[in-house]
Amino acid sequence: MRTLANIAIACIAITVSAVALPACAQRRPVQPESELLAERAEIKKRFNEGNRIWMEFLVKSVHERRATDPQASVDVLVVSGGGDWGAFGTGVLIGWSGLPAGPTALPKFQVVSGVSTGALIAPFAYLGTAKDLKAIDDLYRNPKPDWVKSRGPLFFLPDNASFAEVPGLEREVDKFIDMDFAKRIAKEFETGRIVVIQTTNMDDGSAQPFNWSFAAKQATEDGNIRRLQNILLASSGIPGAFPPREIDGSLYVDGAVTSNIIYGGAFKRNETFGATWKRMYAGESIPKIRYWVILNNYAAAQPVTVQPTWPSVISRALEVAVRASTTIALRHLFSMAEVNQLRGDGDIEVRWMAIPDSWKAPTEGIFQEATMRSLSDLGMKIGADPASWQTEAP
């Protein structure tokens, strides 16, 4: 992750140096503020309506499950950002899947959410078969040199969408996220399960979670897979370094810009699972919710000696900011669980794990095979040990 911070530093330096260079052309028409504000109001309206619809959809599906399994819980997997360190998360899933049946065995998740590198992992975790988990782990264990590629000597020109291209990453997404894959996702969605991908809407300046399972259903109906792929590429697109993606008329980038984990913290009190359950099935006991959070990073920034130079200071500040925001979000999830119980809206358990402080990258650089394989191996070991899950807020 220090490498990703360095990429951001390069973006800042290039932006500053390119200020005096005129852009060749504006690719998108500039909207007046009145239109943008109207769109913001519409986005907020759709977001609130979507929250209500999908929560009712989820509650209804869980209620149907309880008809045959009265003790059924609602299991939610949350996969964070972390760049190439996502190899830790894919390894965790492999190790976890080998546990025998029991309270900490790998469940069939009702909801899976992913941000940035977690967005690439989430669909495979959602399907959850041994073949799918191996496929995404193999991908992370075998990075290719063209996953990230410089645009050449004129990469700094301000008219470029980014200073790097991602032909290899686009190729992998095209390969794995095809129509057959979308049909499998859509089939699971019909059973009441959801996968959510977090992006950042740059035009509106806000977090934009997509119900990717519903988007898969739409893709199978209209025969167009590109939007489904672009959501993943947008969520994992480091701003300035990787190209942004235009989706439904707006420009999107890395979901980690607005939140490194997504867990439902934006729901209002009357929109939560427990409140919705009580409204729809008054008098019936509320199922327990279990959150399983995988942080593809250290839980906190590692101590280092920072030199008093602007690249060192900015790089360190970005790293600390990402760690701190993730910690705050995780603490909020724990607080949300406690408040939920106090309100009588059901019990919520939160478990999380992160890369141990004792692990060190064997080699410098982004998408290095030795580093990614080391993280995958580490994840397998930790995922296979139920004691690895932490149950206290960081």
pLDDT, one tens digit per residue, over 297-326 is 999 999 999 999 998 999 899 889 989 999
| Single-letter amino acid, residue 158 | P
Residue 158 and residue 181: Cα distance in Å, rounded? 37
Residue 311 and residue 39: Cα distance in Å, rounded? 37
Pull the structure tokens for residue 242.
């990787």
| Single-letter amino acid, residue 8 | A
- Measure Cα distances from 354 to 232, 300, 351, 379 in Å: 23, 9, 11, 9
Residue 134 and residue 93: Cα distance in Å, rounded? 9
Per-residue confidence (pLDDT) for residue 170, from 0 to 100:
95
pLDDT classification of 20: cutoffs 50, 70, 90: very low
Per-residue confidence (pLDDT) for residue 26, from 0 to 100:
56
Pull the structure tokens for residue 185.
């996702």
| 101 pLDDT more than 50 | yes
Mean pLDDT of 382-390: 98
- Measure Cα distances from 169 to 54, 124, 234, 367, 392 in Å: 30, 16, 12, 11, 36
Which are the contacts of 295, defined by CB distance < 8 A and separation ≥ 6?
A: 80, 82, 261, 326, 330, 352, 353, 354, 355
Pull the structure tokens for residue 337.
């669980």
**Nearest CA to 216 among 191, 238, 183?**
183
19-28, 63-72, 193-202, 310-319: which has the highest mean pLDDT?
Answer: 193-202
Residue 135 lies in a domain: yes
Domain limits at 266? 2-14+38-388
Per-residue confidence (pLDDT) for residue 17, from 0 to 100:
44
Per-residue confidence (pLDDT) for residue 265, from 0 to 100:
85
pLDDT, one tens digit per residue, over 321-348 is 989 999 999 999 999 999 999 999 999 9
Per-residue confidence (pLDDT) for residue 156, from 0 to 100:
66
Residue 33 lies in a domain: no
Residue 203 lies in a domain: yes
| 372 pLDDT more than 60 | yes
pLDDT classification of 79: cutoffs 50, 70, 90: very high
Pull the structure tokens for residue 94.
């492999």
48-62, 109-123, 255-269: which has the highest mean pLDDT?
Answer: 109-123
Per-residue confidence (pLDDT) for residue 201, from 0 to 100:
96
Per-residue confidence (pLDDT) for residue 6, from 0 to 100:
52
Where residue 307 sits, what CATH number does that domain have? 3.40.1090
Residue 322 and residue 331: Cα distance in Å, rounded? 14
Is the CA virtual torsion 256, 260, 261, 267 positive or negative?
negative
Distance of CA 218 to the CA centre of its chain: 21
Per-residue confidence (pLDDT) for residue 171, from 0 to 100:
97
Per-residue confidence (pLDDT) for residue 238, from 0 to 100:
87
Mean pLDDT of 368-383: 98
The tally of domains found in the chain comes to 1
Say what percent of the chain tops pLDDT 70. Answer: 92
Number of H helices, E strands in the chain: 12, 10
Per-residue confidence (pLDDT) for residue 113, from 0 to 100:
98
Radius of gyration of the chain (CA): 21
| 7 pLDDT more than 60 | no
Residue 27 lies in a domain: no
pLDDT, one tens digit per residue, over 197-244 is 999 999 999 999 999 999 999 999 999 999 999 999 999 998 888 899
Residue 30 lies in a domain: no
Is the CA virtual torsion 377, 381, 382, 384 positive or negative?
positive
Answer for the pair 388, 356: CB distance below 8 angstroms, yes or no. no
Per-residue confidence (pLDDT) for residue 16, from 0 to 100:
45
Pull the structure tokens for residue 155.
């990469």
**Nearest CA to 226 among 211, 235, 216?**
216
Say what percent of the chain tops pLDDT 90. Answer: 80
Per-residue confidence (pLDDT) for residue 291, from 0 to 100:
98
Pull the structure tokens for residue 184.
């499998």
User: 87: buried, middle or exposed (CB in 10 Å: 19+, 13-18, 0-12)?
Assistant: buried
Q: What is the DSSP letter of 31?
A: P
- Beta 245-247 vs 164-165: how paired, if at all? unpaired
Residue 121 lies in a domain: yes
Mean pLDDT of 281-295: 97
| 251 pLDDT more than 90 | yes
Residue 31 lies in a domain: no
Residue 131 and residue 133: Cα distance in Å, rounded? 6
Residue 23 lies in a domain: no
Angle at Cα 285 formed by Cα 343 and Cα 106, nearest 5°? 95
Residue with the two structure tokens 């041994």: 130
Q: Taking the model in full, what pTM does it have? A: 0.92
